[in-house]
Amino acid sequence: QVQLVESGGGLVQAGDSLRLSCAASGRTFSSYAVAWFRQATGKEREFVAAISWSGDFTYYADSVKGRFTISRDNAKNTAYLQMNSLKPEDTALYYCAARSNGAGKYINIWGPRTTEYGYWGQGTLVTVSS
């Protein structure tokens, strides 16, 4: 069982940076893959980035590639999403999710699928003003 708590959201201006954190409880977190999704008002939840248990494999949505970086510190049971060059279209509620199979193989396939993740946080709001 894993419980996830996101933090780090806030109101920023276009071009600014934010780092989101996903703190996990549970001794098995280090074996889980982690992903970030986001949901803007009136839109469906969309994939942002995913990382394997070891951190060796990552995958990004095209819309954030080159601007966002996903990482993790298994010693701290925490995953991160560093967001640079933020745009107004990045405004959304950002969710952290965990997948019990943490292997990185085919991360480009399973990574974006919400059904692959059995654990979700409550979300942290990111608002980017123009």
The average pLDDT across 68-89 equals 97
Q: What is the pLDDT of residues 3-59, one digit of tens each?
A: 999 999 999 999 999 999 999 997 788 999 999 999 999 999 999 999 999 999 999
Band of residue 93 on the pLDDT scale cut at 50, 70, 90: very high
Cα(97)–Cα(114) distance, integer angstroms: 9
Cα(37)–Cα(47) distance, integer angstroms: 4
Band of residue 125 on the pLDDT scale cut at 50, 70, 90: very high
Residue type, 49: A
End-to-end CA distance of the chain: give it in Å, rounded: 40
DSSP reduced 3-state for 108? helix
DSSP reduced 3-state for 22? strand
Cα(86)–Cα(26) distance, integer angstroms: 32
The average pLDDT across 92-115 equals 96
pLDDT attached to residue 27 = 73
The average pLDDT across 115-119 equals 96
pLDDT attached to residue 26 = 79
